[in-house]
Structure 1
Amino acid sequence: MTDRLRRADPVAISLGRPPAAGDAVETAAARPSTLRFLPRVNPVTRLAAAILVTTPLLFTIDWLSAVIALVLQLVLFLAAGVRPATILRRCWPILLAAPLAGLSMLLYGRPAGTEYWSFWLARITDGSIELAIAVTLRVLAIGLPAVLLFLDVDPTELADGLAQLWRLPARFVLGALAGARLVGLFLDDWRAMTMSRRARGIGDHGALRRFATMAFALLVLAIRRGSKLATAMEARGFGSRTSRSWARPSTAGAADAVLLLIAVLVTGCAIGGAMLAGTFHPVWA
């Protein structure tokens, strides 16, 4: 009964309404994904895994390593419980940016081989087609893990891990955490300013002028809010050099080791497969 109440609708409990029998099912169904492995991994380990997977791909430009990395990433994320709908919903900016990057390489990339079309500076050749495919796949292979590994990460838990496991300065970590928390307020501030200007009847100016005015006002608001936050944190001793205790310990276990091993294997398979196939091409070559 206790577990059922914990899984029930928190809004219903806060209003004093007894939870219905289907509340637990509806709450679970409303979640974007049912992750089975990633919640047991420390957020800092996820950050390290993302670095291990994406960094080697920044120094290569061949298509095969990107294909291998992308296929392995999709298989592993689906096995970890990330739904395809969640991938599409969270990664749509990357899905749009990848073809655009490929199109620019297709038109203005490395000319080599047979030329199929030419207009002024734009030329489509065998080399530009291969480069466009490689860049498109590489943007996807770099962007997907950077987004999906942090689907349900709490910024506070990430800050705890950075300070306790990576031994980063507490002042830097807590300042970054406060800044990350404030980023989410920008959209609300923008909506509030839009409604305020509309209520005063000053929202009919040109789009560029309206955007510049609101962006400047948002910048001023962010600076003022940041200065007040810095003063408040200093007054509470966040800038002291004494050692700080942590309310929640951040630990790493077997799941963290497994994720790091998987990241190394994905990178090794991608780079090693390209080398064995003879398509490996570093960016400096």
Structure 2
Amino acid sequence: MSILAPVRQGPLARVNPVAKLGAALIVSAVLLISIDWVSAAVALVLEIALLTVAGIPLRTLVVRTAPVWIAAPLAGLTTVLYGQASGAVYVQWWAVEISDGSIALGLATMLRILAIGLPAVLLFITIDPTDLADGLAQVLRLPARFVLGGLAGLRLVGLFVDDWRALTLARRARGIAETGAIRRMLGQAFALFVLSIRRGTKLATAMEARGFGAPVRRTWARPSVFRGRDWVTLAVAVLVASTAAAVAIAVGSWNVLGS
């Protein structure tokens, strides 16, 4: 199985995609309200504890979450160096100013990215695009035309890697892929962009010809039902978010943005 394919094992694989989407939004919304490190740290600890029972293979988990683990420290470091200074100043050189305030802000930024990014990755790597489309259309009652168009677009994303590889081989066979890495990458990216537009246009025409855009009530081959485990998933997300906020408020670190 490809490492990019949806994970179909573990408790999360049986949860409705709409419930996973809602759980990620609940945790993210609460963590975005305040910019303190306590709430983010509490949420992150709880999420890692839940991660141990998710049943996701370790290799898949490491590969999928690697961008989050890389981006979070970099964002925190940037905030430490260039964030708003307050309190004692330790380093001041040109635009760089490291102080107590920037260090605290950098730590909060790093933890918030981890606390928001990890559950999002954890939930979405177990979602199949077709199941998500069924849930959006049947549970949330979104327009079928919008849902099916989005599903078709998601299904084409997997072809980008193959197209990029084919373009690389074709340009190399023509002898124009040996020098100028930046120029080659830009030219190849533009070629991929044009190819994607052409393929999307053909797919839209084919779907319209088959009646996907007809203004009639649509039936679905696979029913999408909101069950008890889906409500439990939402309840766990509310518990994680409320616990993080309660602990931050209790220790006096809760800091609502704009206040």
1:34 Cα deviation (Å)?
8.6
* Among 22, 35, 53, the residue aligned to 2:27: 53
CA contact (8 A) 2:16 2:225 kept: yes
- 1:79 equivalent in structure 2: 53
- 1:279 equivalent in structure 2: 253
Amino acid of the residue matched to residue 224 of structure 2?
Answer: S
What do residues 187-230 of structure 1 show as CA deviations (whole Å, max 9, x unaligned)? 11010010011111111231121111111111111111011000
Q: How far apart, in 2, do the equivalents of 1:224 and 1:202 lie? A: 23
Gaps of 5+ in 1: 1-26
* 1:103-142 equivalence runs, <5 A: 103-142=77-116
CA contact (8 A) 1:32 1:86 kept: no
The question of 1:159 aligning with 2:159 is answered no
The question of 1:44 aligning with 2:33 is answered no
* Among 225, 234, 243, the residue aligned to 1:251: 225
Q: Percentage identity across aligned positions?
A: 56
Q: Secondary structure at the match of 1:116?
A: strand
The question of 1:222 aligning with 2:222 is answered no
* 1:9-28 equivalence runs, <5 A: none
- 1:211 equivalent in structure 2: 185
Q: How far apart, in 2, do the equivalents of 1:163 and 1:32 lie? A: 20
CA contact (8 A) 1:106 1:128 kept: yes
The 10-residue stretch of structure 1 (79-88 or 38-47) with the greater mean CA deviation from structure 2: 79-88
* 1:230/1:83 CA distance change after superposition, 3 Å: closer
The question of 1:180 aligning with 2:133 is answered no
Amino acid of the residue matched to residue 239 of structure 1?
Answer: G
Gaps of 5+ in 2: none
- Alpha-carbon RMSD: 1.7
- 2:176 equivalent in structure 1: 202
What do residues 127-156 of structure 1 show as CA deviations (whole Å, max 9, x unaligned)? 111111110000000100110112221100
Amino acid of the residue matched to residue 228 of structure 1?
Answer: K
The 10-residue stretch of structure 1 (209-218 or 254-263) with the greater mean CA deviation from structure 2: 209-218
Q: How far apart, in 2, do the equivalents of 1:209 and 1:70 lie? A: 41
Q: Secondary structure at the match of 2:124?
A: coil
Amino acid of the residue matched to residue 220 of structure 1?
Answer: V
Q: Secondary structure at the match of 1:91?
A: helix
1:256 Cα deviation (Å)?
0.3
Amino acid of the residue matched to residue 136 of structure 1?
Answer: M
Q: What TM-score, normalized by structure 1, do the two folds share? A: 0.86
Q: How far apart, in 1, do the equivalents of 2:157 and 2:10 lie? A: 29
- 2:236 equivalent in structure 1: 262
